[in-house]
Amino acid sequence: MEEKREKMKKFESPPKVLKNFFNKEEINDFLDLYKKLPTTVHNKKQNVIKKRWLQGYSEKLEKLFSDRLKSEIGEFKMDNLQDDNGKDIYGLIQESYSPIGLHVDAGFNPENLVYKQTLIPLTPVGSTVIFKNRFYGGSTSFTLDKEELKKKNLSYGQNKRSSEHINLYGEKPFDKKIHEKYLTHENIENLKGLEVEFIYEWEVGSMLIFDRSHLHCSSSVIEGKKIGIATFTKK
């Protein structure tokens, strides 16, 4: 585990925003793709609709995305869940009506060397909070909710639940002003020891790239709903 962590650290870099990365026509193509894709999950508790970006619905967008991402991060492989036929999917498109809590997308296969993830906003209002703190123990949702922590029998692709972050990053109270402005959906005690690295204000046409080891979460800033595409890579 330690050897793998050291390899991952060699590829780490600060979060990066690419402005005007997609034009209006391309964003409309992504929205059309979203409409065509079948719903994978409608999580009523999280109030989010998730659709897998399945291969074959738009080869044009698949090539466009892959080529542009490669120009920014170099060689990579997609690290996504598979569809019912065993094909790799390109990512997840999420329509959120409520903010998603503190988590890390560090992968489900401990053998993989996770790399970068991306976020493409398809709607203008929203923000994503990325913390300086990192975690290398697989995809995890961090919570103090006792009922959530009881969940052990998880489905394929679901994050494990954990509160171990509370003992990893120290006792420093979280910044109250940032909590009030961006993170009112989170118990401030759940953020103890965390420091903000970057707050990405959503802008249609831009794309965020950041390391998959970063703890992060949605902000509480939502006007009705927001739609974004998340993708995950490995080396």
Of the candidates 211, 228, 215, the residue with the CA atom closest to the CA atom of residue 79? 211
CA atoms within 13 A on the CB side of 214: 28
Q: Check residue 40 and give its pLDDT.
A: 83
pLDDT tens across 101-143, in order?
999 999 998 889 999 999 999 999 999 999 999 999 999 999 9
CA–CA gap between residue 182 and residue 101 (Å, rounded): 12
Global confidence as pTM: 0.93
Q: Kindly indicate the confidence band of residue 207, based on its pLDDT and cuts at 50, 70 and 90.
A: very high
Lowest-confidence range among 45-49, 101-105, 167-171, 203-207?
Answer: 45-49
Q: Kindly indicate the confidence band of residue 2, based on its pLDDT and cuts at 50, 70 and 90.
A: confident
CA–CA gap between residue 39 and residue 3 (Å, rounded): 39
CATH number of 2-234: 2.60.120
Domain boundaries, the chain: 2-234
State the DSSP code for 188: G
Q: For 219-229, what is the mean pLDDT? A: 93
Judged against a pLDDT cut of 80, whether residue 190 lies above it is answered with yes
Can you read off the two tokens belonging to residue 53?
Answer: 């970006």
Q: For 201-227, what is the mean pLDDT? A: 96
Can you read off the two tokens belonging to residue 110?
Answer: 């401990």
Q: Which residues contact 220 (CB under 8 A, 6 or more apart)?
A: 99, 182, 183, 184, 185, 186
> For residue 81, how many other CB atoms are within 10 A of its CB?
14
Q: Check residue 86 and give its pLDDT.
A: 77
Q: Check residue 110 and give its pLDDT.
A: 86
Q: Check residue 83 and give its pLDDT.
A: 75
Judged against a pLDDT cut of 70, whether residue 45 lies above it is answered with no
Q: Check residue 131 and give its pLDDT.
A: 98
CA–CA gap between residue 19 and residue 206 (Å, rounded): 4
Q: Are 217 and 103 in contact (CB under 8 A)?
A: yes
CA–CA gap between residue 70 and residue 76 (Å, rounded): 7
Give me the helices (H) in 77-196, please.
146-149, 176-182
Of the candidates 106, 104, 109, 197, the residue with the CA atom closest to the CA atom of residue 143? 104
Q: Check residue 44 and give its pLDDT.
A: 59
Q: Check residue 155 and give its pLDDT.
A: 76
pLDDT tens across 92-108, in order?
999 999 999 999 999 99
